[in-house]
Chain A
Amino acid sequence: MSEPGGTEPQRVPEVHPGEIRKHSFQDYLIRFCFGAGISLGAGLIGLRFGPVVGGIFLGFPAILPASLTLIQKKEGRERAAIDSEGAILGAIALVGFALVAWLLFVRLGIGATLLIALAVWLIIAVALYAAVMATLHREPAPR
């Protein structure tokens, strides 16, 4: 949380719903198209080469290129690089999501497995974020 003087960097996450108004409908349409395109591609590849190969594309960087371009346009290159650093932590958590899903689908069924896998993703991602902030006491500077 920022100090009143503004010298202490923000460490505790905050939600600012008003930020959505700074983005246009087109910004989200671009991301929708990226997501739909990757899902379509993964489905067609799975149809042609089998589900395991199709599954590889469930970890394809679907949202990042569009997001980074938009962040750079609105907030600058350094903020886009910091967003990528956050994505490293989210991606490590995504490996956890995939492992949990692989282990539990047959045992627990689709709904329960997806809920547990999403919870595992969130817990790992937030724990890694907390560990980075506790170690560096600030957002890492782009390398």
Chain B
Amino acid sequence: MKEILLIVVRALAGGLLVAAFAMLGDTLKPKLFAGLFSAAPSVATASLLVIGLSSGPDRDTKDAFGMIAGATGLVCYSTAAAFLVARLGAIPGSVLSWLAWVVPAFAVYWWLLR
């Protein structure tokens, strides 16, 4: 029960930080600079804070280790999205780009972190 409650707190904190970073990004110009904040560590900061406070830094270390793979996938996702969104539009481009996240993120995990 405590685990589920913590996940709910993580979700609320993650949502708030994502909205806050989005708000910050919306105020920035030029667009390339605003785009930096589309890949800001919003979900990560909220999650690592809640996990760390409840379970300690050892547990955070493991989550951060896995995050190296996820962040590598995000580099590939953003590269694919920049290419595909210009050609297909935002919705098909960003949805198709999820493949470019899944494959490298789990490849890095499988070969380097497992």
Contact = CB atoms under 8 A, between A and B. Distances in A.
Interface in B1-29: 3, 6-8, 10-19, 21-23, 25-29
Contacts of A20: 23, 26-27
B85 to A, nearest CB: 5
Interface in A75-105: 75, 77-95, 97-99, 101-102, 105
A40 B57 CA distance: 20
Contacts of B30: 9-11, 13, 139
Interface residues of A, number: 96
A116 interface: no
Given A19-B27, A110-B48, A129-B36, A56 B22 contact: no
A9 B113 CA distance: 43
Given A65-B95, A98-B67, A32 B19 contact: yes
Contacts of A15: 27-28
A122 to B, nearest CB: 9
Nearest to B52: A110
Q: Which of B14, B72, B113 has the most CB of A within 10 A?
A: B14
Contact of A78 (B70, B83, B86): B86
Interface SS of chain A: helix, strand, loop or mixed? Answer: helix
Q: Which of B19, B44, B46, B94 has the most CB of A within 10 A?
A: B44
Nearest to B60: A105
B66 A62 contact: no
Nearest to B53: A110
A78 B59 CA distance: 41
B39 A90 contact: yes
Contact of A56 (B18, B86, B93, B105): B105
Nearest to B98: A61
B109 to A, nearest CB: 6
A126 B33 CA distance: 8
Nearest to B109: A56
Contacts of A52: 62-63, 65-66, 109, 113-114
Interface of A: 9-11, 13-17, 19-20, 22-23, 27-29, 31-40, 42-44, 46-47, 50-69, 71-73, 75, 77-95, 97-99, 101-102, 105-106, 109-110, 113-114, 117-118, 121, 125-126, 129, 132-133, 139-140, 142-143
